[in-house]
Homo-oligomer: A and B are copies of this chain.
Amino acid sequence: MNTFGKRFRLTTYGESHGLAVGGIIDGCPSQLSIDFEAIEADLRRRSSGAPRQEEDRVEWLSGIKDGITLGTPIAFCIRNHNARPDDYATLEHLYRPGHADYTYEARFGVRDHRGGGRASARETVARVVAGAIAKQAIGPVSIHAEVDTLGPEGDTRGGIVNCRIDGLRAGVGNPIFGKLGALLAQAMMSIPSAIGFEMGAGFAAARMKGSEFVDRWAPHPFSHSATRPLTTTNHCGGVQGGISNGMPVEFRVAFHPVVTLPSEVECLSDEGTLVPTTIVGRHDSCQVLRTPVIVEAMAALTLADLLV
């Protein structure tokens, strides 16, 4: 379950304070000329303003020769140069509230307590690298995400990110279980802190009348383009019956606030007692500002899996 996709597939690895994080992309088309600058630009969007300032240098281990993809697996590796595992020594026997410490222990019987281990948002660096390649593989389709809503000031914040995909032809997606909206929902809800997903009008659609909601055909629908739309509204978010209709695909993702609070909290010890603790380590108070590039990456991976 560390693999995303069936045809364009990303398998990721790595703990936050282990030796490295990275991944293998399998199924990337051959003869694709890789724009390494674009990958680095996306990595900078991800790390901009983060408390753990780390130069995420990508080492390319296979699958690319002279800048061209070979059609074989693309393995990449980013070292965790700036790890400070000792910051976390006091947490070895404590489960923080709101974190995955307790659930990982329940699932695996063991965990890497240093900085959240595998549950850390550190792993999203591999998604961003692979997403940047996926963007290049899906060619004229473009994806743009941005922060829509920020949570209130005070301690830590969440927010809502919206995303719009342009240039996707009609006919992409699948009926029944592989609906485009369902695949995007899984992709987005797999991002750390994601807690809600909606297409087009989303939850507001549940409070609309049918006659308000239904997207009407615009005049001359067959000649639709960027300037001449297929429908007069886009409440469905560009997807009908699980398949794209050629309008922009639009969705929003809600993220809960960062769960590492700056104040003292009660942790649960593995002996069952509650222990007042102040969490050290370098933590963001508002990750959502850096999340749009991750949303774009997961959208690109979803589309690459359908299009290549």
Residues of B within 8 A of A108 (CB): 30-31, 70-72
Q: Mark A160-203, 1 if CB is under 8 A from B, else 0.
A: 10000000011111111111011111111110101111111111
Asked whether A227 is an interface residue with its Cβ less than 8 Å from the other chain, the reply is no
Bound: A81/B178 CA distance, A: 28
Interface of A is mostly: mixed
Judging by beta carbons under 8 Å apart, are A98 and B214 in contact?
Answer: yes
Asked whether A102 is an interface residue with its Cβ less than 8 Å from the other chain, the reply is yes
> A195 with B199: in contact, given A2-B175, A217-B266, A263-B211 (CB under 8 Å)?
yes
Judging by beta carbons under 8 Å apart, are A179 and B171 in contact?
Answer: no
> A2 with B19: in contact, given A171-B103, A257-B213 (CB under 8 Å)?
no
A198 (CB) vs chain B CBs: closest residue: B196
Bound: A111/B221 CA distance, A: 19
**Residue in contact with A30 in the complex, picked from B110, B216, B219, B285, CB distance below 8 Å:** B110
Copies in the complex: 4
> A1 with B174: in contact, given A208-B151, A265-B214 (CB under 8 Å)?
yes
A49 to chain B, nearest CB (A): 17
Bound: A107/B62 CA distance, A: 18
A183 to chain B, nearest CB (A): 7
A261 to chain B, nearest CB (A): 5
Asked whether A248 is an interface residue with its Cβ less than 8 Å from the other chain, the reply is no
Residues of B within 8 A of A256 (CB): 201, 205-206, 208, 213, 235-236
Judging by beta carbons under 8 Å apart, are B18 and A240 in contact?
Answer: no
A165 to chain B, nearest CB (A): 15
Asked whether A229 is an interface residue with its Cβ less than 8 Å from the other chain, the reply is no
Residues of B within 8 A of A98 (CB): 213-215, 236, 240
Q: Mark A64-96, 1 if CB is under 8 A from B, else 0.
A: 010010111111010000000000000000010
A225 to chain B, nearest CB (A): 14
Judging by beta carbons under 8 Å apart, are B221 and A21 in contact?
Answer: no
A100 to chain B, nearest CB (A): 2
A-B contact pairs, 13 of them (CB 8 A): A11-B11, A14-B61, A72-B117, A95-B217, A98-B213, A99-B240, A107-B171, A107-B174, A118-B175, A195-B203, A195-B237, A201-B256, A235-B256
